[in-house]
């Protein structure tokens, strides 16, 4: 199902724009500016949360200890081992599904 998304004439342009936007090199969609401003304030997240990361994630990311204090509800971080990269739902579906089930029990 994911592969079908690549069969889109705008896929490359959208992907490149997203990276440029995340790096501050391109403007975002103006209709979302008010939401972006709220998110930029890094509000505390009060709902139960499990964050996850693969042990072979090559994408830039902060250490989980750097953002753990942003969660005021029950919080847990899981490092998924076994050569798991950036796409946990695809690369570690069992661990991902288990986190969805577990967070509901918090």
Q: What is the pLDDT of residues 26-37, one digit of tens each?
A: 999 999 999 999
Please give the Cα distance from 13 to 6 (Å, whole number). Answer: 11
> Quick check: pTM over 0.85?
no
Q: Give pLDDT tens digits for 46-100.
A: 999 999 999 999 888 889 999 999 999 999 999 999 999 999 999 999 999 999 9
DSSP annotation of 77 reads: E
Q: Which of 47, 52, 39 is nearest to 85 (CA)?
A: 52
6 in helix, strand or coil?
helix
């Amino acid at each position: 199902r994911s592969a079908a998304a690549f069969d889109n004439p705008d896929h490359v342009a959208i992907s490149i724009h997203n990276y440029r936007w995340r790096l501050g090199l391109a403007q975002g969609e103006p209709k979302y500016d008010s939401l972006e401003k709220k998110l930029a304030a890094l509000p505390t997240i009060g709902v139960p949360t499990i964050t996850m990361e693969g042990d072979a994630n090559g994408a830039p990311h902060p250490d989980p200890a750097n953002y753990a204090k942003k969660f005021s509800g029950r919080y847990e971080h899981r490092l998924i081992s076994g050569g798991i990269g950036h796409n946990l739902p695809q690369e570690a579906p069992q661990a991902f599904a288990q986190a969805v089930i577990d967070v509901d029990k918090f």
